[in-house]
């Protein structure tokens, strides 16, 4: 079983409009709702790949109830979310059908009380006993300590469970110091962490700060990996256009599935890039275009070894 942690779960609402214009009314052509938050997106992709997944984090209020009801219909996903008094947040994505661009609106999330945070930590420690790997994903809701991920990384390491951290800002800085097995920031998040805007130097700097391996998302240019086994760049054979929401989460699912299957790094990266690109072609986060994924793998994601930064 793979465990994904989404402390700030969400109900993802996606609107599609013919064209998004400021200061104007819009007629929505399509509305979709899905359980959201980075770890839940990761879990749905992992389940679609055939990996059993348990999801944990917080859920509360009517929005949380909707999230849990939706999760109950996802084969291969077990709900171990911890209840809170506050209401789970909503996120709204507005997709401009004319340009393909997406505008995202993210609520902050419920205020988590100290007793609720303690209850989560107890549940998390118990869930680790059956986990082959754990992913710690996304933002922290109000009330959760900024060093929360650092503590969860240490708990996973003490249990002997490989841990992937995918967050940003101060939670990432503190989490890296706890020595996770893998971090997966985008280029901006990595630059904020290390102070370097050159991706290769920044990935090396992030490893020196404590991460065993670093995989950086470069957007349409693919992924850059800095690992004890080597350095690689992986890119799709052609740029794809669509809704990029959730593409990074699908890359995390590819990396996690490759880890538990003991695939070599180039194969993990090829899978992650193919899943990410296939997610851009899907209308909502947490799903991917299966035919496009298989075609991208078949056409060959370019994975090349990388030299040291100068």
> Which of 92, 129, 90 has the alpha carbon at shortest distance from 110?
90
Query: What's 2's DSSP letter?
Result: E
Distances (CA, A) of 284 to 31, 34, 161: 10, 8, 30
Evaluate if pTM is beyond 0.85: yes
- pLDDT, mean of residues 262-274: 90
H or E element at residue 257: helix 247-260
37 Cβ neighbours under 8 A, 6+ residues apart:
6, 8, 9, 10, 57, 137, 138
Q: Alpha-carbon distance 284 to 303, whole Å?
A: 27
For position 93, what pLDDT does the model report? 85
Query: What's 237's DSSP letter?
Result: S
Instruction: Give the residue numbers marked as catalytic.
Output: 249
Pairing, β 182-183 against β 302-305? unpaired
Q: Alpha-carbon distance 34 to 9, whole Å?
A: 11
* pLDDT grade for 247, boundaries at 50, 70 and 90: confident
Tell me the per-residue pLDDT of 197-243, one tens digit each, with 9 for 90 and over.
Answer: 898 899 999 999 999 999 998 887 888 999 999 999 888 776 666 66
Query: When comparing pLDDT for 308 and 124, which is higher?
Result: 124
Tokens 């800095």 locate to 226
Tell me the per-residue pLDDT of 277-293, one tens digit each, with 9 for 90 and over.
Answer: 777 766 666 677 766 66
pLDDT at 294 over 70: no
| 185's tokens | 């920031």
The helix, strand and coil proportions of the chain, stated in percent and rounded to the nearest 5, come to 40, 25, 35
Alpha helices (H) along 128-240: 148-158, 169-177, 187-194, 199-209
Query: What's 139's DSSP letter?
Result: P
| 101's tokens | 């661009």
Tell me the per-residue pLDDT of 111-162, one tens digit each, with 9 for 90 and over.
Answer: 999 999 999 999 999 999 989 999 999 999 999 999 999 999 999 999 999 9
> Which of 257, 251, 307 has the alpha carbon at shortest distance from 278?
251
């Amino acid at each position: 079983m793979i465990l994904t942690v989404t402390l700030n779960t969400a109900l993802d609402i996606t609107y599609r409009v013919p064209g998004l214009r400021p200061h104007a009314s819009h007629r929505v052509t399509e509305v979709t709702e899905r359980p959201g938050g980075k770890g839940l997106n990761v879990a749905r992709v992992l389940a679609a790949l055939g990996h059993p997944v348990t999801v944990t984090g917080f859920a509360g209020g009517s929005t949380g109830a909707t999230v849990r009801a939706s999760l109950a219909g996802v084969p291969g996903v077990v709900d171990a979310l911890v209840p809170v008094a506050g209401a789970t947040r909503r996120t709204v994505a507005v997709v401009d059908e004319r340009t393909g661009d997406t505008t995202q609106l993210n609520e902050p999330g419920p205020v988590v009380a100290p007793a609720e945070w303690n209850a989560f930590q107890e549940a998390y420690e118990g869930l680790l006993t059956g986990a082959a790997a754990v992913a710690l994903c996304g933002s922290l809701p109000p009330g959760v300590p900024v060093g929360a991920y650092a503590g969860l990384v240490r708990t996973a390491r003490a249990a002997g469970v490989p841990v992937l951290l995918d967050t940003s800002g101060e939670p990432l800085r503190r989490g890296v110091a706890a020595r996770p097995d893998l971090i997966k920031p985008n280029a901006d998040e990595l630059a904020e962490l290390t102070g370097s805007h050159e991706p290769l130097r920044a990935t090396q700097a992030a490893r020196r700060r404590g991460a065993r391996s670093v995989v950086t998302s470069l957007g349409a240019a693919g992924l850059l990996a800095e690992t004890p086994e080597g350095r690689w760049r992986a890119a799709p054979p052609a740029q794809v256009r669509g809704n990029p929401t959730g593409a990074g989460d699908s890359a995390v699912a590819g990396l996690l599935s490759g880890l538990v299957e003991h695939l070599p790094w180039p194969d993990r990266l090829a899978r992650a890039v193919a899943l990410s690109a296939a997610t851009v072609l899907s209308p909502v986060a947490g799903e991917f275009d299966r035919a496009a994924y298989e075609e991208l793998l078949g056409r060959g994601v370019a994975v090349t070894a990388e030299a040291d930064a100068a």
